[in-house]
Chain A
Amino acid sequence: MTNSIRGGNLLSLDGVTREAIIEVLDTAESFVEVNRRSIKKVPALKGRVVASLFFEESTRTRLSFETAAKRLSADVLSLAVASSSVKKGESLRDTIATIDALGIDAVVMRHQSSGAALQVSRYVPHVRVINAGDGLHQHPTQGLLDAFTVRQVLAERHGTTGVESGAELFDGLRVLIVGDIRHSRVARSDIAAYTALGAQVHVAAPGTLLPEDIENWPVTVVDDFEDALQWADVVGLLRLQRERGSGSFVPSLGEFTTTYGLTVERARLLRPSTVVMHPGPMIRGVEIDSRVADLPASIIERQVANGVPIRMAVLYLTVAGSKEEVVS
């Protein structure tokens, strides 16, 4: 169990406690305020070096992390590995050793293989490792920012603030996650975060897009998607992971849209208070109808906006104060 991510790595949300998640969310609230200032920069990580190491290209996530690091005054080494000489087949130990030799304090890592960030953390125990998505395993900052966005929206509606509400607003909250659960690292992180915060998580997907042992997961599988849309408080859509082979798990994208897409017709079933989320990038017309993505119920843009403060919070908590603590 992880009770705080301070001075440690962030590899997975599995086993991260409510207390630790709330600490990140509360810290992120401070950074939301920093991001509203005309000078959006604080010196917390001055002199620290953060490397971003993306074996799998993701412009959005990389930009979000690098912006976060720069707003904390860290120096950023950006290595777009996906397009460099480091290719599939190079030993992770060699890659990280090369970068470590440049003198880094933290590495933000995206990799197509599950567990790659954890493996790297074993090779460089003195460097903080932040998982920016590993294979089908975890995408912890996405899970944190989804929880953060939900709390922010609900707190506004209740006339309170995120920090004051703590985890209260998640108590009994019905979260419905729809789509390719099997191949989704976002789903694994979201489920861990929402569950730790006290929400009830439900999933809806064709049988082939659920993991084989879904009965052991802390979720309920809904039989009737359209019925679930009528009672869900939060609807989280996932991207169909075509590059991970989910194409052969459903007959066609068209059939997926027909059965599990959030079409305009289905969006009418939602209660007015329900919020709709998507981690992006959206395939408009597949998981979500373009018109639904732009409805007021959709908080997708807020998810994007919260990417920077949540990543600032994660970098601040894991990197600031880490070195000496490791020595002692």
Chain B
Amino acid sequence: MSSLVLRQGLVVGETTHEVGDVLVIDGRIAAVGDVGEVPTGTKEIDASGCWLGPGLVDLHTHLREPGREEAETIESGAFAGAVGGFTALVAMPNTEPALDNVALVSYVLDRGARTPLDIAVAGAITVGRQGEMLAPIAEMAALGVRLFTDDGIGVQNPSLMRRALTYARPLGVRLAQHCEDEQLANGGSMNEGAVSSRLGLVGRPALAEELMVLRDIELVRLTGGAVHFLHLSTARSVAMVVQAREEGLPVTFEVAPHHFTFDETACDGFDPLFKVHPPLRPARDVHAIREALRSGLVDAVATDHAPHAPELKDLPFDEAPAGMLGLEHVASLTYEALGASPGTAHLFFTLLSRGPARVAQLRNSDARVRHSGHGGAVVAGEDANLVVFDPHQQWTAHSATLQSRAMNSPYDGRELVGKVRATIAKGQLVVNDGVLV
């Protein structure tokens, strides 16, 4: 028997919060509030002054295994996630080879089961993410895969996307789309606008994203299939999806921390750390996304954690690969973006835990994929996936001390407020005092 008690944290529910203790026994929450006498040998964690809520869930993690283990492995990514407060990660399928069949998905699930976290898998929509033939979606769905995407690139062919939605709908799975029309994006390496034209870098126009968002909303309307929009980065994209959701279409969307933290001027120094797709946008889009976060319109914050080996980020800006790290800083950045208003704690857990768990269908445990339940309420009987977040702690991000194998964090040297104090995944204390146990 293993047991653990978290003392005097602010237990954050969907709408309520109350200071109390949380007792965890054998992977489940045994009691909340006044927990009474605890078994002998129970580990005590002081959570006073901290938020205590459901463990964070990332809808968008590039774990790079198999194929790019020099940048990240499933294990190193899981440790980075744990330090960032995550108890579940959705592994993106743009590995080498791509996760487009049962064998590869099983491999990642097996490796994931050896980490302290729950590692879910998003399968590829098309074979090899080539955008030409449908991947065996039904077989992967039978294995427990709930999310499919060709992320890194969107499904460019509208006819194929329509077919994928029609095929996926009866399976109860969701397609996640990286919205950028590659022809309009023109091989560009940053946002198209005043900065790109001054720097002489080919730009990716906002319209490349917005056209595909519009296209996929209409395909959802046509087919009834569900789409999750990955890392929306412009005010118009967000407005279109919010509107479609209000109309009752089965659409959800996420935003990434870099899109609400940096604007396009971050690319001014030609530092490839700031190269990402979709690109960092003008300040007005950054403000719009922050506004959407605060007003509760966003379904999920997702990291798009994209590790790259250091030598690749020493290439010239236009040749360097796109993407940046996010797992270890997203909680602080989200807290910073939300501001210290009364509802912040509830919104924080909605964006980082409940929302993504709902999109990825990770709410309930699933024996097929050996997953526990995530994003639930902090009440007795739930699986013990929990995070203790100290909203007062000030700290400085340092890329040299990351758990991730890669160093391509754009947050190096940034002063942050709010830090993950402890992570309890599947009932085990994985992170304590901000470091791996």
Contact = CB atoms under 8 A, between A and B. Distances in A.
Q: Do chains A and B directly touch (beta carbons under 8 Å) in the complex?
A: yes
A135 interface: yes
A138 B269 CA distance: 14
B318 A135 contact: yes
Contacts of B311: 91, 93-94
B203 A93 contact: no
B417 to A, nearest CB: 29
Contacts, number: 73
Contacts of B203: 212
Interface in A82-139: 88-89, 91-94, 111, 113-116, 118-119, 122-123, 134-138
A116 B193 contact: no
A115 B193 contact: no
B315 interface: yes
Nearest to A211: B197
A185 B200 contact: yes
B317 A113 contact: yes
Contact of B315 (A14, A89, A136, A185): A89
Interface in A278-328: none
A115 B197 contact: no
B197 A135 contact: no
A113 B316 contact: yes
Contacts of B318: 113-114, 135
A120 to B, nearest CB: 9
Nearest to A123: B314
Interface string B306-318: 0000011011111
A33 B200 CA distance: 36
A115 B317 CA distance: 7
Contacts of B314: 91-94, 119, 123
A213 B194 contact: yes
A6 interface: no
B193 A213 contact: yes
A151 to B, nearest CB: 25
A252 B183 CA distance: 21
Given A113-B316, A115-B270, A118-B270, A212 B192 contact: yes
A212 B186 CA distance: 14
Taking residues whose C-beta sits less than 8 angstroms from the other chain, chain B's interface range is: 20 to 34
B194 A115 contact: no
B199 interface: yes
A136 B200 CA distance: 4
Interface string B195-230: 001111111010000000000000000000000000
A114 B270 contact: yes
B197 A137 contact: no
Nearest to A115: B270
Taking residues whose C-beta sits less than 8 angstroms from the other chain, chain A's interface range is: 20 to 34
Interface in A23-80: none
B300 to A, nearest CB: 32
Task: Name the residue in B197, B200, B317 with the highest tally of chain A Cβ atoms < 10 Å from its Cβ.
Answer: B200
Contacts of B205: 212
Interface string A186-209: 001000000000000000000000
Interface string A208-244: 0001111011000000000000000000000000000
B270 A119 contact: yes
Contacts of A123: 314
Contacts of A136: 200-202
Contacts of B198: 14, 188
B316 A111 contact: yes
A138 B194 contact: no
B184 to A, nearest CB: 12
Task: Name the residue in A14, A114, A134, A217 with the highest tally of chain B Cβ atoms < 10 Å from its Cβ.
Answer: A114
A117 to B, nearest CB: 9
Nearest to A184: B200
A92 B311 CA distance: 9
Given A212-B193, A213-B194, A216-B194, A135 B200 contact: yes
Nearest to A116: B316
Nearest to B205: A212
Nearest to A88: B319
Contacts of B200: 114-115, 134-138, 185, 188
A213 B315 contact: no
B315 A115 contact: no
Contacts of B317: 113-115, 119
Contacts of B194: 213, 216
Contacts of A214: 197
Nearest to A215: B194
B192 A115 contact: no
A33 B189 CA distance: 45
Given A91-B311, A119-B272, 18 more contacts: A91-B314, A92-B314, A92-B315, A113-B316, A113-B318, A113-B319, A114-B318, A116-B270, A119-B314, A135-B201, A135-B318, A136-B200, A137-B200, A185-B200, A211-B197, A212-B203, A214-B197, A216-B197
The 9 closest A-B pairs by CB, nearest first: A115-B270, A113-B316, A136-B200, A137-B200, A211-B197, A91-B314, A93-B314, A114-B200, A91-B311
Interface of B: 192-194, 197-203, 205, 269-272, 311-312, 314-319
19 contacts: A89-B315, A91-B311, A91-B312, A92-B315, A94-B311, A113-B317, A113-B318, A114-B318, A115-B200, A115-B316, A119-B270, A119-B314, A119-B317, A135-B316, A185-B200, A212-B193, A212-B197, A212-B205, A216-B194
Interface of A: 14, 88-89, 91-94, 111, 113-116, 118-119, 122-123, 134-138, 185, 188, 211-214, 216-217
